[in-house]
Structure 1
Amino acid sequence: MTFNDNARINTQRTQKRSGGGKTAAVGGGSLVVVLGLWALSALTGVNLMPLAGVATDATSQLGGGSSAAVELENCDRGSQANERDECRMAATADAVDQFWTEQVSNYRPATLILFEGATSSQCGTASAQTGPFYCPPEEKIYLDVGFFRTLSSQYGASTGSLAQMYVLAHEWGHHISKLIGTINVDRASGQASGSVRLELQADCFAGAWMRNATSAKDQDGNTLLAPITEAQLNDAMSAAAAVGDDHIMQSSGMRVDPERFTHGTSEQRQRWLMTGFTEGPTSCNTFEVPAEKL
């Protein structure tokens, strides 16, 4: 999906941090460490490490450092969003925020934090290793755009524009789950667990935004986004498949263990993304779906 070149981008939902420390590799090859850091956090989900009691050990090995707020430069036009990942994320935050403002009563916006290397949050250290995540206490989304390269090189996802937008729209979906109260679920793992249902709801919310993305306007009333093409939709579906629990386990050389699922299979993630895309946000109550139909 591309932004109209002359559209004016509102970047007030986005902040940028610079000067964070570099991250160190996390030791240990246990499934808990691998899936705790990657599947629970990096794979476009809520950072659950502190809630699961993993963060203390994991983030102690990350060079969090201090990060200073810096200006997000040259990101005020659609043409810039089409050229630079950071600008694309800022513009996507503008478009996603507009959509949910109209959908959720008593809505309040999330804030997107762009960073490089590492930065601190109330949910633990944000880094390229932990990937994008939503921090519920802060109502902030943390994202290092370098994650998109990792998603492509290690897990085979498309690097297309809508694939990237899907990642952010998914994280914003967790914010919507917080606002409507569904984020407070049992975080146990398993095929039909609360964790899986929460992630699939965020996928569905991402699809619901994609369905209505072209409704976003700039302050002059110009349309922000051009219509989605079939190729771009396939890019988003590629990203959704890449972050399925079964695909991650297979790619990591692990046995596929449904009892360890926290995000859903590739098929589920694609299906719920398309459910939101074809039916809208009212179709996204994954918590009422029987386990056999999830």
Structure 2
Amino acid sequence: MTDPGPDVERAFHLEPFRDHLGFERGLSPRTIDGYLREARRFAAFAVSEGAASPGQVTYQLLRDHTARLAEEGRAASTVARCVYALRGYFRFLVVEGVLEADPSERLEAPRAGRPLPDVLSVPEIEALIGAVRPDDWAAPRDEGILELLYGCGLRVSELLALQGRDLDLREGLVRVRGKGGKERLVPVGAAARSAVGRYLRESRPTLDRGRSQGRVFLNARGGPLSRMGVWKILRRHVQRAGILKRVTPHTLRHSFATHLLEGGADLASVQEMLGHADISTTEIYTHVDRSHLRQVHRSHHPRG
């Protein structure tokens, strides 16, 4: 590691940070050395990139630093320790009044051995939705739920929070309130528009007995459908479809993103539809897409 030098040590308040870790947080000497090592490493990198003090550090600079570590072949656990150390360092600077805002606030640590999300194939999705029995009283509701979860990539919490005013089936849009209260507009495809429209016309008026709280999806008693209710609905149709994979509501969201990318959608558009604050979260689906492409190559190329 390049020694940042005494001038940089002073400019980046590294000595006071060491005192803070030892005297105020009471950390062990080994932990202090680890935190200080990461802060020094970043300070040297920041200066090499033209940031002469913590006040000139941006979130993008922090991202560039952690990306560089990953490109050097460092383990995800090592990069994660760097992120945790830098978060502690910048929180210290904010508390001490050196900085007004924390540029590391949105910095995410990589997950070691992060598994690829489970997805259903297009035929499995068709089998799942096709398993809804037309003669079942709940068929319009259940089909609408499955079509929205898969067709719009909604989180189950987002689905359950939907109110009538959030749906514009004529324009084919749904307004979704995601994490942190952030709103986004997501296109609603023809299949989902048809299924949800049928539910709103044929089933919901019968279910609504004044206890709906304005929610779109209701249970048999007329109250807002619960998270567990959605799980039970999904599990019932998964079993009817004969799907042996473990399927959760989030599996349909994963399938939505994966099938879009396989069909040629760009990553930024998928990020917007999923409501991810950081595109690095969406990038996990590019790994799924590459896995799909490798399978296609093996299956269809004469030298695969």
Indicate whether the TM-score tops 0.5. Answer: no
Larger Rg: 2
Does 1 or 2 have the higher relative contact order (CA < 8 Å, sep 6+)? 1
Structure with the bigger percentage of helix: 2
Structure with the bigger percentage of strand: 1
